[in-house]
Structure formats: structure tokens, C-alpha cells
């Protein structure tokens, strides 16, 4: 196991609602990245947090937002949910000072929007 945890495991929401997903990073890691994985696709980069600030973002609209806390845990918030937001949401923790840039994934939160 990677030591990265996510909650909840599964979630069902209605279109237009808001959702918050949570991630606890592996001990010793200071960076958290979030990814969206639609069925049959590879994960897509949403954004990355380091030192409680967003320091990179993929091609996702502003209704996807996040936070990182002093203990390096993180939240992903999605407003005004759309049907296409149904996906597996993965967080990955890493150490920015690490030499190999390896990222370790949590088990994911499976979000279904109806």
C-alpha cells in the first residue's frame, strides 16, 4: 500500500450539486496532485498543490478547485456538477524534492453524477 488515503470511496450526486473529495498524502510527501479518470481512459491531470498553493493546472474549468492544508492533506471541490464529471478521481502524493518525481496514488473516489 502507498499510504495515500482518499474519502469517500464512492459518491452519488445529482447534476448541479457540489462535491468535496479528500486526500491524505503519504508520510514525508509535500505535494498532492489530482487526476480525473473517465471509464476506458487514462487519468487526466486536474491540478497540483505544493505549500498550500496551486502550482499547476490541467485543462479543467474553474468550477474544479482545491485546497492543501498545513499537514499536506488536500481537498478537491467540484461545483455545478455535470453528467460528464462522473469518473474516478485519484489523488497522488509525491515529494517535490525527490529525484525521480514518482507519484503514488490513492485508491480513488468513484463519483457518479445522475
- Residue closest to 70 by CA, chosen among 43, 97, 56, 51: 51
CB-CB contact of 109 with 37 (8 Å): no
Pairing between β-strand 44-50 and β-strand 31-37 as defined by DSSP bridges: antiparallel
Name which of residues 79 to 108 contact other proteins (CB under 8 A). 90, 92, 94, 96, 100-108
Q: Is 68 in the site for other proteins (CB under 8 A)?
A: no
Q: How far is the CB of 60 from other proteins (least distance, A)?
A: 12
**Cα–Cα dist 24/3, whole Å:** 8
Least distance (Å) between residue 51 CB and other proteins: 12
Shortest distance (Å) from residue 101 CB to other proteins: 5
What span, in angstroms and rounded, lies between the C-alpha atoms of 46 and 58?
5
Instruction: Map the footprint of other proteins across residues 30-49, applying CB under 8 A.
Output: 31, 33, 35, 40-45, 47-48
- Cα pseudo-dihedral 94, 99, 1, 45, rounded to 10: 40
Between 78 and 103, CB nearer to other proteins = 103
Q: How far is the CB of 2 from other proteins (least distance, A)?
A: 8
Contact footprint for other proteins (CB under 8 A): 2, 31, 33, 35, 40-45, 47-48, 50, 54-58, 90, 92, 94, 96, 100-108
Amino acid at each position: 500500500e502507498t499510504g495515500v488515503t482518499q474519502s469517500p470511496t464512492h459518491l452519488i450526486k445529482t447534476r448541479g450539486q457540489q462535491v468535496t473529495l479528500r486526500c491524505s498524502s503519504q508520510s514525508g510527501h509535500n505535494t498532492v496532485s489530482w487526476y480525473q479518470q473517465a471509464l476506458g481512459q487514462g487519468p487526466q491531470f486536474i491540478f497540483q498543490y505544493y505549500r498550500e498553493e496551486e502550482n499547476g493546472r490541467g485543462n479543467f474549468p474553474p468550477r474544479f478547485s482545491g485546497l492543501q492544508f498545513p499537514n499536506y492533506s488536500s481537498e478537491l471541490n467540484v461545483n455545478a456538477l455535470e453528467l460528464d464529471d462522473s469518473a474516478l478521481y485519484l489523488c497522488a502524493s509525491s515529494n517535490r524534492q525527490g529525484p525521480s518525481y514518482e507519484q503514488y496514488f490513492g485508491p480513488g473516489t468513484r463519483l457518479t453524477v445522475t
